[in-house]
Amino acid sequence: MKISNIEFPEKPLFLAPMEDVTDPAFRLLCKRFGADMLYTEFVSSEALIRDVNRTKQKLTIYPEERPIAIQIYGHDPVSMAEAARIASEAQPDLIDINFGCPVKKVAGKGAGAGLLRDIPRMLEITKQVVNVTKLPVTAKTRLGWDDDNKIIVDLAEQLQDCGIQALTIHGRTRSQMYKGDADWTLIGDVKNNQRMQIPIIGNGDVTTPVRALECFNRYGVDAVMIGRGSIGRPWIFDEIKHYFNTGEIIQALSFDEQKAILKEHVIASVFWLDIDDAVSIDSVKDKRLKGIIHSRRHLASTPVFKGIPNFKETRIAMLRAETLNELFGIIDSVEEPLSASDKSE
């Protein structure tokens, strides 16, 4: 499978763009475990034009992350074109347009999935972004605004006609948010539409190797994008690829290995947000750090601690920790949950 001149292996796995999740610290972990394509967090076109430091920071990419896309969002075609021009200067491999974010602060302002209620504006944004950059442009969207307006089959053709070179489809409507099951049927309909010539990437509820393979085989997509299933579990890409290659479920990482990866991610976030590489991590272990706060979503979502009895208080303490010494002390104190066989003995 290719997007423009970027070649991917058979059955490629993409890491979904996620706000407050897919920063370089997390992206590099996912890359190490086998993600074939990475995306930045959402980049606001208006904030990028205003030169907001936090937004500019999202444009930071590293050579070992490639291929990687910068994803931009907004509601104004002129601002989106200018944002695409600025983002192109950071030299990503792709520019991706966010037409799928359902949250109120984005969709409610006519950006992201909000553009599913204004298709002419969506298409105008797409045309202007394509025209302003020499980089390949892709887009990510949903099935439609609600159950009565699942327009993705026709919309996919319209976006293709605007010049995008790949389309990612999340198998829910905006009204669903992240509730209910993702419906891949319409994703398959888009892929099997003979008028579609660009790669189609499927997204939504891929959390196991078996489901990932089913999405390729049943719906014919060119790539599968994994979002929430990777939070607190970057090794999911390795698990899926092992299954693709062998037909077997890989032996899970040990409990201690999983905890070590979680701690590695926290440290990487600290380096990203709090200190530079010239500073020893030991020198800041007792300081309040932004990187710890940024990592809490991963710690809250990780399946590593699933099944541990009476874990609620420990989880709360973990999410309230403000220093590395405090947080790592809590993580190190957690003992591996008993397996079913252990419990029966």
Its pTM stands at 0.93
Complete domains list, the chain, with CATH? 2-246 (3.20.20.70), 255-338 (no CATH)
What phi, psi does 178 have (nearest 5°)? -120, 20
pLDDT digits (tens, 9 = 90+) for 331-344: 999 998 765 334 33
* Residue of 105, 111, 86, 94 whose CA lies nearest to 40: 94
Q: Can you give the pLDDT at residue 128?
A: 98
Residue 141 contacts residue 116 (beta carbons within 8 Å):
yes
The beta strands (E) that lie in 161-211 are given as 167-170, 200-203
> Regarding beta strands 6-7 and 200-203, do their DSSP bridges make them parallel or antiparallel, or are they unpaired?
unpaired
Helix (H, G, I), strand (E, B) or coil at 175: coil
CA separation, residue 297 to residues 23, 292, 345 (Å): 13, 10, 35
Q: What is the pLDDT of residue 310?
A: 87
- What pLDDT score does 283 carry? 75
- Looking up tokens 């993600």 gives 35
User: Catalytic residue at 101?
Assistant: yes
Is 206:224 a contact under the CB 8 Å cutoff? yes
Q: Which of 30, 101, 162, 215 is catalytic?
A: 101
pLDDT recorded at residue 340? 35
Helix or strand or coil: residue 14?
A: strand
pLDDT at 279: 66
Measured distance CA(16)–CA(45) in Å, rounded: 19
* DSSP code per residue over 38-90: EEEEEEEHHHHHTT-HHHHHTT---GGG-SEEEEEE-S-HHHHHHHHHHHHTT
User: Across the 345 residues of the chain, what is the mean pLDDT of every consecutive 10-residue run?
Assistant: 96 96 96 98 97 94 97 98 98 98 95 97 98 98 97 98 98 96 97 97 97 98 97 97 95 92 93 72 80 88 90 92 93 79 36
